[in-house]
Structure 1
């Protein structure tokens, strides 16, 4: 496979890559986590000087669809079916930064894809997303196949990951045992995907369980949604960023207080929140009152409790990641070699 395809027709195909699918108290805290999941997820739109909050309600989530070949045939035979380029568009399966995501499949091969649909008013941000995503080739990063444009919309055709969000897995099954090989493998894969991005001088800035997708067997992860990705200078140059973006519950304290920050260190903080939530079943800095200001206060004060049921090595790794001073946070290489993975 080569690169990303970008198309222009009545649909326009823009092709940066040429890689489209081929034709031919734990219980109480877990309850709080469930309640938190019922309300809006907050992500900060980097295009707004006011740091406008865009909310997404969990009630609108659609479970990962299981599409039979007969269902595809019915859709293809329907005159009312929506399509763009060579793709049939199906149900909405999620929300990404700046747009919704629909299930799709190729008209000739029936290959399933995920199609992110964005209004062209967000074109500057989407161009940054495409530019960052198109260069990424990693087994734990969902692949961007093709970009299609019409007069009003941009369609990003990406790899479909049928297992759904890791966030939803926690809602359905509860926390993962931190001693289990599966928990260690999944988190290692997330760290490896982030390290790969950093090695290419890209920071994600919206790392959260909602952007960690699971394969059908739930045994592997794929990182998605590069809407807040930013290219940064070489690590030795320590380029500072100043855009407050991502989701509050996963945001680093230096970002919340409005300081300039180092993108890689902010990503590492978010990895700590991901690990904590994965093995505890609730967010470290969530607040019972649903008050976002209090959540920010808890983050700034590093106000969280480490559950006793966690292993000592897991506690140590979380504590080494969640440091208020970015300079004190454990490096990605050191995370991957931490005794918890042994």
Structure 2
């Protein structure tokens, strides 16, 4: 333990080297790829070289104080993008990685706007023990957090929390705005904890049955009854999304192997070595 602490004191980058090595190995068409992480000597900063996605963010949500009318996304487009992000999330979870901050501005589009990719893994987490995703602290943007994440003080499944971020993101795609628009953070947290999501704001009566049941299944306050990634994938509303099979999406050649000591050593490079 002392040796590890000594190494961390000499080189703090060593604390994140394994995680960086794993992130560089992640390979999925619906994740923004991390090519390189560069350390700048005599600086507190590191630089990340990421895949360029010039198509912009998925959805530009109006501020709570905005007087502009929200613009919902076309349903067929929403289904395609949401399905793509879902496949990226399925892949992450299979590799025991959780994003913890899924929201429209953390989803980028390719130049032709045909492909959506998750980005910004700043608060993501990797789990050393297969299948154990328990965390005690909620992370991410408050307006997208689950009731149990807001409550805090109790263990929760981080993968289920990712599903919570997905549900609010889908709601935003359907409506063009956030479900809760409180300016005060304390009021926002109280609304998330206590107000019935299916009633506030109300689900429009003109929504088709499958669209409504998907949102209701994702918004269920009962964690045990709430739709999982598998449940969302198999929901009737997703049947037209043309999703790849689970076997194809999680094909063996895409799965991340534990990085070797050499890969960990080279995970973060100095700027001079990259030139």
Question: After TM superposition, is the score higher than 0.5?
Answer: yes
Change (3 A) 1:131 1:299: farther
Partner of 1:117: none
- What is the deviation of 1:292? 1.4
Maintained 8 Å contact 1:129/1:229:
no
User: Which runs of structure 2 are paired with 1:73-112 in the superposition (5 Å)?
Assistant: none
1:285-323, Cα deviation, whole Å (9 max, x unpaired): 222xx1111111111123422223422211111111112
Q: Do residues 189 (structure 1) and 84 (structure 2) align?
A: yes
Distance 2:147 2:177 in 1: 19
Per the normalisation by structure 2, the TM-score is: 0.72
Give the Cα separation in 1 of the matches to 2:217 and 2:18.
Answer: 32
Whether 1:317 and 2:207 are equivalent positions in the alignment is no
| Aligned residue runs from structure 1 range 1-342, under 5 A | 127=17, 130-151=20-41, 152=43, 153-168=45-60, 174-178=71-75, 180=76, 182-232=77-127, 233-235=129-131, 238-258=132-152, 259-287=154-182, 290-301=183-194, 302-303=196-197, 304-305=200-201, 306-342=203-239
**TM-aligned CA deviation for residue 339 of structure 1:** 0.9
- Give a deviation string over 1:148-168, Cα, whole Å, max 9, x none: 111212111000100111132
TM-score, normalising length from structure 1? 0.58
Q: 1:239 to 1:213 in 2, by over 3 A?
A: closer
CA contact (8 A) 2:171 2:215 kept: yes
Hey, what's the Cα distance between the residues in 2 that align with 1:214 and 1:125? 32
8 Å contact kept, 1:186–1:220: yes
Residue 10 of structure 1: aligned partner: none
String of CA shifts for 1:146-194, please: whole Å, max 9, x gaps.
11111212111000100111132x569821133x2x2111000011100
> What is the CA deviation profile of residues 34-53 of structure 1, one whole-angstrom value per residue up to 9, with x for unaligned ones?
xxxxxxxxxxxxxxxxxxxx
**2:262 matched residue in structure 1:** none
Q: Which has the higher contact order (CA 8 A, sep 6+)?
A: 2
Displacement over 6 Å in runs of 4+: none
Q: Which residue in 2 is equivalent to 1:92?
A: none
The secondary structure found in structure 2 opposite 1:167 is coil
More helix by share: 2
Gaps of 5+ in 2: 1-10, 63-67, 240-275
- Distance (Å, rounded) in 2 between the aligned partners of 1:228 and 1:125: 15
Which stretches in structure 1 are left out of the alignment for 5+ residues?
Answer: 1-120
SS at 2:214 equivalent:
helix
Question: Which of the pair is proportionally richer in strand?
Answer: 1
